[in-house]
Amino acid sequence: MALHRLTSVTIGVPNVEETVAYYTEFGLSPQEDGWFTTRDGGRQMRIVHSPTRRLVELHVGADDADDIGRVADNLHRLGIDAARGPQSVTAVEKATGVRATVEVAPRVTQAPVPATTYNGPGRVERTGARAPGVLRTERIQPRKLGHTVLGTTDFGVTRAFFVDGLGFKVSDMVKDAGVFLRCSTDHHNVLVLKAPVSFLHHTSWQVDDVDDVGRGAMAMLENNPERHVWGLGRHHAGSNFFWYLKDPAGNFSEYYSDMDCVVDDQLWTPETLEGAKGLFSWGPPPPPSFLAPDDLAALMTGAHSQG
């Protein structure tokens, strides 16, 4: 695959200071100019001011200048204006207004984390000690940015931009609702959803295992239970464990672990998922506000969203 990762996202919010404080508590490391870093991925999110919450920009990593040339040619064939540089190409997706840059960037190498030891029927692998997940006390610091989800008012145009223009691949579809797309070996890096208004649904951040999904969420909820959105559960598409929280601007943020990986495209068959199966395998049912965020009407009228 010429593309190899979702490098970073820039999100616009009306309440920058509050949102910066939230993602600092979430475990991202604040840097200069609104940037945040993860443990393994480097600078992966920037927060800027915007009248309403939205995904402003995303960056995608590619291996070399030949990859950049192929993306530029694809965009040209689609009739999409693109700014080409020696190491990058940038274009704006028309339906959502999101600016996308594909750039030559190093691949992320993650040091292997030892698998969590679980005892099971007839399989005792941990004896004389409590489970590591109940002994950890360090704060959660996400390993990397996994994916972002955006709503679009023109699903066909947005899908074509990512697939036929940038070179993303389809992992799974949600019937009449969305498509999971990947630019890495992770099951998805972008999920495009049909929506009455273009908006940022959520960003998702990798942690070590399901214990860290739970520990991270519980720490965020300890003094702010209103942040809870949905979880704990396991998705069907991607298979990952999840827990969703809400930031002060109204965007959702997800801790996840155990995502499906597609190393050989020929061995993966996309599914078209229907109903609840497309959302989760087990866990509590999603609240209505997850499917249709409470501020969609305000976003449609251009009103400021403070969550």
Could you say which of 3.20.20.150, 3.10.180.10, 3.30.590.10, 3.40.720.10 is the CATH number of the domain covering 3-107+140-299?
3.10.180.10
Give the closest residue to 8 by CA, choosing from 161, 155, 141, 189. 189
Q: From CA 301, how far away is CA 289, in angstroms rounded?
A: 18
> Count of alpha carbons within 13 Å of 174, Cβ hemisphere only?
21
What are the domain boundaries of the chain? Answer: 3-107+140-299
Residue 1 pLDDT: 57
The residue type found at 72 is A
pLDDT of the chain along its 307 residues, tens only? 589 999 999 999 999 999 999 999 999 999 999 999 999 999 999 999 999 999 999 999 999 999 999 999 999 999 999 999 999 999 999 999 999 999 999 999 999 988 888 999 999 999 999 999 999 999 999 999 999 999 999 999 999 999 999 999 999 999 989 999 999 999 999 999 999 999 999 999 999 999 999 999 999 999 999 999 999 999 999 999 999 999 999 999 999 999 999 999 999 999 999 877 778 999 999 999 998 999 999 998 875 444 3
Q: From CA 78, how far away is CA 99, in angstroms rounded?
A: 16
What pTM does this model have? 0.95
- Tell me if 250 sits within 8 A of 290, measured CB to CB: no
- Tell me if 304 sits within 8 A of 248, measured CB to CB: no
Peptide bond into 232 cis (omega under 30): yes
Q: From CA 288, how far away is CA 298, in angstroms rounded?
A: 17
Q: From CA 188, how far away is CA 261, in angstroms rounded?
A: 9
E strand or H helix that includes residue 289: helix 288-291
Residue 303 pLDDT: 56
The residue type found at 236 is H
